[in-house]
Amino acid sequence: MAAVDSFSFLLREIERSCSYYIETLAIIGALYTAKTCLTVVSDIYTLIRLHFIPRLISRADLVKLYGSWAIVTGCTSGIGKSYAKELASRGVNIILISWNKETLEAFAKEIEDSYKVETAVIVADFSRGREICPAIKKALMDKEAGILVNSVGVFYDHPDYFTNLTEDKIWDLININIGAANMMVHMVLPGMLRRKKGAIVNVSSLSCCHPTPLMAAYSASKAYLDHFSRALHYEYAPKGIFVQSLTPSFISTNLTKFSSTLTKKSFFVPSADEYAHHAVTTLGLSKRTTGYWPHSILFLFAQYLPEWLWAWGACRMGCFL
């Protein structure tokens, strides 16, 4: 009988202990659910504030906010070209930097004829690294650049294993995707600080969210740009400088020509012009954004995906593209 009583007492103690732990877990679960709900609501609010409200009100006067000149690198194709046209449509004079002189001059004339703004061209091949800096710095001496858009970049010819990349491609990824942005910011930022206003836009990528197999060096370079931009914003926002990390997903440009699927425009794969039209409206509003609201939906999913699942998806997608 004593044994039975002892066993009953043990069961009651176990039940009491379990009840305590269950209540604790329930509280933790409720707090986690509440936090997740608040995060989702906050993300939805941010989506509306960034991508829909600005389109219902008058466009911001970028010249008044930042200055009369904007520098755009990688401006002869893709996002850079479309972003330059969008800035010009808002009355901003454009300094175009790229490696092909003939293409630069033709695009500069197109902008002047279409938008009645001034342009200047600087021929520079960022794949050559720091040796081009003195010439760029000299060309910018008499220009008060209020906006800098670091759009120049290179991608893989197609998703591939790192060892299959050539040494030239690896150095291009370093010099162009990382080095160019650092050099341009270092040249332009002091002038912005003297005027106590300016905006810097660094074009990163959605691939900065997680390590991305078959695009290892590319995604790493874009993660660098993302962290670089966010750190700069904390450093210089108190001094009147706005720094934005732009993290788009795939856009129908020359960079995606390796895939017949990604070269076709769709809901999640816009043209460069459509993307830039949306992205410019977020300037001054968010230090980190995809610039395009369907991409923001993808970004939300990407943030919550486990790294292993992202990596698995990247490998599968790379095999099919």
Per-residue model confidence as pLDDT tens digits over 134-150? 999 999 998 999 999 99
| Banded model confidence at residue 1, pLDDT cuts 50, 70, 90 | very low
Q: What is the CATH number of domain 61-320?
A: 3.40.50.720
**Rounded to an integer, what distance in angstroms lies between the CA atom of residue 185 and that of residue 232?**
10
Q: What is the pLDDT of residues 236-264, one digit of tens each?
A: 999 999 999 999 999 998 777 777 777 78
Domain limits of the chain?
A: 1-51, 61-320
76-110 CB burial, b ≥16 within 10 A, e <16? bbbbbbbbbbbbbbbebbbbbbbbeeebbeebbee
**Rounded to an integer, what distance in angstroms lies between the CA atom of residue 288 and that of residue 282?**
9
Q: Tokens at residue 288, please?
A: 């980190």
**Rounded to an integer, what distance in angstroms lies between the CA atom of residue 245 and that of residue 48?**
19
Q: What's the pLDDT score for residue 164?
A: 96
Q: Which residues are known to be catalytic?
A: 218
Mean pLDDT (whole number) for 191-217: 96
